[in-house]
Each structure stands twice: as structure tokens, then as C-alpha cells.
Amino acid sequence: MKKIKIGLLGLGQIGSGVYRILTRKKSLLQKKSGVSFEIEKIAVKSPGKKRAVSVPSKLLTRDAMSVAKNGRADCVIELVGGVRPAKDFVLAALKSGKDVITANKALLAECGEEIFKIASRYGRRVFFEASVGGGIPVIKALREGLVANEIQSVLGIINGTSNYILTRMTHDYLEFGQALAQAQREGYAEPDPSLDIDGIDSAHKLAILASLAFEEPVRLRDIACEGIRAIDQNDISFANQFGYSIKLLAIAKKTAEGLEARVQPTLLSKDHILSKVDGAYNAILFRADEVGDMLLYGKGAGSKPTASAVVSDLVDMAQGRPDKKTNPWLTKRRLKIKSGSSIQSRYYLRFSVIDKPKVLARISGILGDHGVSISDVIQTERKVGNVVPLIMLTHHAGEGAVQDAVKTIDRLPVIKGKSHRIRIED
């Protein structure tokens, strides 16, 4: 039976999951793949730390670089995370003639072009199924299942932490801070949740998905990114009254004017299939010319689902699956990126206004002057002189025009606080 020796970098959440599958499911994997996997060495930061799995201490080392370069291993699984020093380990492994498997979306989103260039120069392969969508085989679906298709758009809920928070705000009426604290208590959010709630993790994943979907490198700086910190219970409840839910969406669309790529809180009709994706679940909706709409749904993070994707890559690698002929990160870039201000969308606007006669007319007038027309209005709790929320939905309008109009409105003396603007995805 074919034997594959592995250098494992990292034994945290995902590394432990991979170790557990490779040790407990050894015979199942042998039966299904015809390959016997053996862990040669594991690099960690603190070898003495208590872990989710019990590992013979002789396997552990602090020296990740020596594991990356170890001549006895056939491949390296990088599960350290972050850009540095993970990038140094990955490049060293490739240059030492090893294939690499990684779950590291930040690394690929930021350094994909450099990593694949080195891999190609040294005739090595890089597998990264676990970098997007955790246990959902989204990379495989995109590269293999949809090979006959031209992809028109990708719409994804690809950050479980943000989706969990928005779901708790929607169903349990929690304020953002309360929902975040609950997510932290239940292990869905890190002590420092910025990467997740500011949309950066989704942008990393979207850069990978959009590069594969549109077959050219899509860089992080091409993606307009906005997180969910500013969403409050008012927005959730008014969106609900209009028949929408709020989701953090990662969106990439090919348009005549270029690629539109953004991560942003979005109002989605409750009838939209992605509206029904709740809790820490992920879903990715492709629109493609042959299959039409196709939805992938499942657990987008966590030790078990993500380790499942890593092991699937390991089997592909061991079975000698050749690298794809077209690699977006090795393709010359011709993509034009559509400017944010030219993106057309409907908008939800929430102003905090002093309730006075003619305020509504004044605000509508400013929007009208910028070519933004209103489709719906809600003004509640009418008490003259009080600060009340004024909610407006617009017809399609350019992002630039809406931004300018809101800036002008925010300068009116009757406006108290910064106005909220959320796009509506039809």
C-alpha cells in the first residue's frame, strides 16, 4: 500500500481534528483511498500545552521550519494560520519538494500569486479546500463540478461568527454587543472578533472564491469590505417589517463594466434562499450559465468539518491528482474592477431625526436632488420634538449618489447621529 508521510504544522483546533481523523480513522482511510498516512512530526508553539488529542511527545517540536523542510515527509499540512510565519513555512516546504495542504485563507488571499508561482517553479501542488467554507467542498465544486460553466455570480454567507450574531439579533432580539458576547461564550467568536465581524475573514474567502470563479487573481484590495458592527436592533426590526433579514454577504459578480466584489451587511428578502441560512452555518450560491443557480450549505468552520476538508485534500494529494491546468493566481490579470461608486443597488436608509414638520420633505428633497427616489418610508413613535428613527427604502441608485446625499442629509441640524445605509440585494 502507498505510504504518505506528513509534516503537520499546528495542532490547534484544526490540527487536532486532522490528527484525530488520521489516527482514529486510519483503516477507513486506507480502505477508501488505498493510502496509508503517517504523521512524521508536528510543530507547535508550546509543546507542553494541554490539547484536545493525546499525542506522543516525541512527535512534537517547536521547530516548524525543520518540519517544513524535513526530507522524510512527502507533504506538509500548514494549520498555523495568519500570514507570517506561515508563509515562510509554506514556501520552505514547496522549495524542499513537498506538496502543501493549507486551510489558511488569509495567506492565500494575500500571497496567493507568490505561493503558486513558487509551487509551479518547484513542480509542487498546493491544496486549499479547507480555506473556504470549512467542511463544504466548495473549491472542488467550483473547479471540478462546475468546469463546464461560466460563473456569473457568487453570493455567500461565509463567516459563521457574523451569521451567528445576526441570527441571535434577529430571533432573540439581542443588541449587537449581547449577541457578540453570547457568540464568544459559545465558542463561535474569538476574544478579538475583529477579523470576523469587520468582514475581513469573508473578504479573504471571497478573494479565493472570486479568483477561482472568474479565473484571474482577485486581490484583497479589489474587495470593498464592511462589517456588521454598526447594525443594531432598530435595523434588524425595521428590515423585518419590510420583509427582509440582514446578512453579511460576500458578493462577486461579473458585469459589463467589470467585476463587482464586496463584503457588506445586506438586506435580503425573507424569500431568498440565503435568508434561511441561520446560526453558524455557511452557504454559497453560484449562478452559472449551464447549471443555473446552485447552493452549497453546511458547517463553515470548526474542528471536525474543517479537518474533514483537509483530509480530503490529503487523499487527493496522495492519489496523485494533478494540479489544475488553469490556476487563476498564475494567470495574467485583465480583470477590470468596477468602481464602488458606480454600483447600482436599492438601499435601506435609517436617519435619526428630530420630529418636526417638513423634515420628511426636506430629506426626500435632498435624495431627489441626487437622483435617488424613495420606494417606502416608515416613521414611528411620532412625538413632535423627539428624536425618532426615519426609515426609507430607495429604488435602484448609484452608490456614489446615495453616499453624497446621505452626507448632505447628515449635516442638517434636525439629524442626530450618523445615518445608517445598508444595501438591498434583490
Ligand X SMILES: NC(=O)c1ccc[n+]([C@@H]2O[C@H](COP(=O)([O-])OP(=O)(O)OC[C@H]3O[C@@H](n4cnc5c(N)ncnc54)[C@H](OP(=O)(O)O)[C@@H]3O)[C@@H](O)[C@H]2O)c1
Contact residues for ligand X, defined by CB under 6 A? 10-15, 43-46, 49, 64, 79-81, 85, 103-105, 130, 134, 301-302, 306
C-alpha cell at 26: 486510519
Q: Minimum distance from CB of 218 to ligand X (Å)?
A: 19
Residue nearest to ligand X (CB): 12
Does residue 266 contact residue 209 with C-beta atoms inside 8 Å? Answer: no
* Sequence-separated (6 or more) residues with CB below 8 Å from residue 365: none
Minimum Å distance from CB 105 to ligand X? 6
Neighbours of 415 (CB within 10 A): 21
Nearer to ligand X, 12 or 400 (CB): 12
Q: Least distance (Å) from ligand X to the CB of residue 69?
A: 14
- Beta carbons within 10 angstroms of residue 387's beta carbon: 15
Q: Which is nearer to ligand X, 24 or 45 (CB)?
A: 45
- 241 closest CA partner among 350, 165, 403, 384: 350
Residue 208 Cβ, how far from ligand X at the closest point, in Å? Answer: 11
CB–CB of 377/391 below 8 Å?
yes
| Spatial separation of the C-alpha atoms in residues 94 and 97, rounded to whole Å | 5
Determine the 3-state secondary structure of 412 from DSSP.
coil
Nearer to ligand X, 20 or 416 (CB): 20
In the complex, what is the shortest distance from the CB of residue 237 to ligand X, in angstroms, rounded to a whole number? 31
CB 396 within 8 A of CB 371: no
CA atoms within 13 A on the CB side of 128: 25
> Which strand (E) or helix (H) includes residue 69?
helix 64-69
Look up 205 and say whether it is catalytic: yes
Considering beta carbons, is residue 85 or 258 the nearer one to ligand X? 85
Question: Least distance (Å) from ligand X to the CB of residue 201?
Answer: 8
> In degrees rounded to 5, what are phi and psi of residue 247?
-130, 150
Using the minimum distance from each CB to ligand X, give the nearer residue, 197 or 424: 197
Q: Which of 205, 253, 254, 338 is catalytic?
A: 205
Instruction: CB nearer to ligand X: give 53 or 387.
Output: 53
Tell me the torsion sign for CA atoms 372, 378, 382, 388: negative
Q: What is the set of active-site residues?
A: 205
